[in-house]
Structure 1
Amino acid sequence: MVEPIPLLNTGIYSLGQAARLIRAEPRAVRRWMCGYTRKHGDGRRYSGPLWRTQLDGADFDQAAIGFRDLMELRLVRAFADAGVSVPVIRATIDAARADLNTDYPLTTRRFMTDGKRIYESAIDEVGDEMLTDVQAKQIVFTHVIKPSLYAGIEYDGNVARAWFPPDSKGIALDPSRQFGTPIVADAGVPTDTLYEAFVAEGRDARAVARQFDIAPKHVHAAVRYEERLRA
């Protein structure tokens, strides 16, 4: 009998939603989480996902990931933006997973301080892939792995348990609340729900506040966050 996947305190995000939340290209997120096929010599080779997600095997209509996956993706996006290739990112995750003995190494506190090694994927003379520690590329990680990437993450021990985006005061992503969707922390209402009501009410924050029995400042916080995501 297959054990059901626990959804409580896990968080649920479609790949499109995840891309929006970490401000990445949806196509890139799909490649990272679902794998892709690439040309290799005279044929084609499939590269699998960067890791097995929290919701791998869940019976959803579309691919979805959990909160810890989302936090790891923020680091992957930062590496990609800095010009780090997917094979190098994959090798780094695999090495860090073994070194730190965790399935989600990038957002551990230890990786922030110890994760300066970067690995390069290469093909040897017989066509096999090998991994080489490239000291010269440490400067890339030094640039990418910085405290601002970890700002706002709350930890339970060494595991990320919630995220309060530092550029969005009052907003939280907490897998124990509303399945991890962004909410106004003090009100517990999803930001997208408040934003849609705000638009429907002709951008009248007080009307929305009365409708949800919350303070107008909570509506404004949600609107600022959602408009930033949509920018």
Structure 2
Amino acid sequence: MFSGTGIYSIREAARLIQVPPRKLGRWMFGHNYFSKTTGARLSSSALWTPQPVAVTAPNRLIGFADLLEARFVSAFASYGVPLRVIRHCLASAQSLYRVKYPFTTLRFKTDGKTIFAEAVREASANASLVDLNSLQNVFREIIRPSLYAGIEYRGGNALKWYPALRREGIVLDPARESGRAIVEDTGTPTDVLYASYVAEGATPRAACHTARIYDVPLRYVRSAIKFESHLSALNH
């Protein structure tokens, strides 16, 4: 396996960024479908080629950079931006910035509005269903500071991601535990702590017992429980 890239199944990645697995799979690997108009079999290509995360892999896997970029794609999609606009915006930004994952860059945060507006105009010229005015006005709402706040950068590249407030001590670091969500100070996966807490009865005493078993400060066990409980609630 390739060190420092992170390894996620589509299901796990979808859980972490709160996207339906089927939708994320289509973004990452493309899909075939039938046209409702003609009945013809058509195909939609992947938005980009995922990181190589393993020499041989029985399942479809993606890397840490893919995970973060897909999180931004999800932000666009949640505001009703059509995939063709997202695709055009992505391609333009890739070409301009000369990077594979432009949405995650801080540069896109500051000057991506122009690229997005051009992508909307391009799509609008070919599809009357795209409401040019409404889409052009949502960029600031989509690319909000909170999308970038938890990402730690080095040399313009995303190094790690804190999915909650940093004081919670939860991080996704592709160089540690294959990018799983962990307690940063101890390296203990949050899902392991949460599973122990649930198995012990999901009580305050269970949290204390889990902290003793795994030698993790109780406040970080509570952070892990909060984080995993939040993900579970969002994905059910």
* Shorter-normalised TM range: 0.7 to 0.9
Q: 1:166 aligns with which of 164, 167, 171?
A: 164
Give the C-alpha shift of residue 32 in structure 1. Answer: 0.5
- Mapped partners of 1:96, 1:161: distance in 2: 20
- Mapped partners of 1:56, 1:49: distance in 2: 17
Q: 1:88 aligns with which of 60, 85, 108?
A: 85
Q: Which moved more, 1:139-148 or 1:113-122?
A: 113-122
Which residue number in structure 1 is paired with residue 27 of structure 2? Answer: 32
| SS of alignment partner, residue 51 of structure 1 | coil
- Mapped partners of 2:133, 2:63: distance in 1: 33
The 8 Å contact of residues 151 and 165 in structure 1, kept in 2 or not, is answered as no
Which residue number in structure 1 is paired with residue 218 of structure 2? Answer: 216
| SS of alignment partner, residue 46 of structure 1 | strand
Which residue number in structure 2 is paired with residue 188 of structure 1? Answer: 187
Q: Which moved more, 1:197-206 or 1:107-116?
A: 197-206
> What's the % identity of the aligned pairs?
43
Structure holding more helix per residue: 2
Give the C-alpha shift of residue 140 in structure 1. Answer: 2.1
What residue identity is the alignment partner of 1:17? E
Give the C-alpha shift of residue 137 in structure 1. Answer: 3.0
Structure 1, residues 33-90: CA drift from partner, whole Å, max 9, x if none?
Answer: 1112244563222111100110277421110100000000110000000001111111
Which residue number in structure 1 is paired with residue 146 of structure 2? Answer: 148
Q: 2:64 aligns with which of 53, 63, 67?
A: 67
Aligned length: 219
- Mapped partners of 2:199, 2:164: distance in 1: 28
What residue identity is the alignment partner of 1:23? Q
Query: Unaligned 5+ residue runs, structure 2?
Result: none
| SS of alignment partner, residue 83 of structure 1 | coil
Which residue number in structure 1 is paired with residue 15 of structure 2? Answer: 20
1:11 counterpart = 2:6: yes
Which residue number in structure 2 is paired with residue 102 of structure 1? Answer: 99
Q: Which runs of 4+ in 1 moved over 4 A?
A: none
| SS of alignment partner, residue 55 of structure 1 | coil
Give the direction of change, closer, same or farther, for the CA distance of 1:56–1:225 in structure 2 (3 Å limit).
Answer: closer
Query: Unaligned 5+ residue runs, structure 1?
Result: 1-5
- Mapped partners of 1:137, 1:80: distance in 2: 11
Structure holding more strand per residue: 1
1:53 counterpart = 2:50: yes
Q: Normalising by the residue count of structure 1, what TM-score does the alignment of the two structures yield?
A: 0.88
Q: 1:112 aligns with which of 109, 130, 133?
A: 109
The 8 Å contact of residues 174 and 180 in structure 1, kept in 2 or not, is answered as yes
Give the direction of change, closer, same or farther, for the CA distance of 1:31–1:178 in structure 2 (3 Å limit).
Answer: same
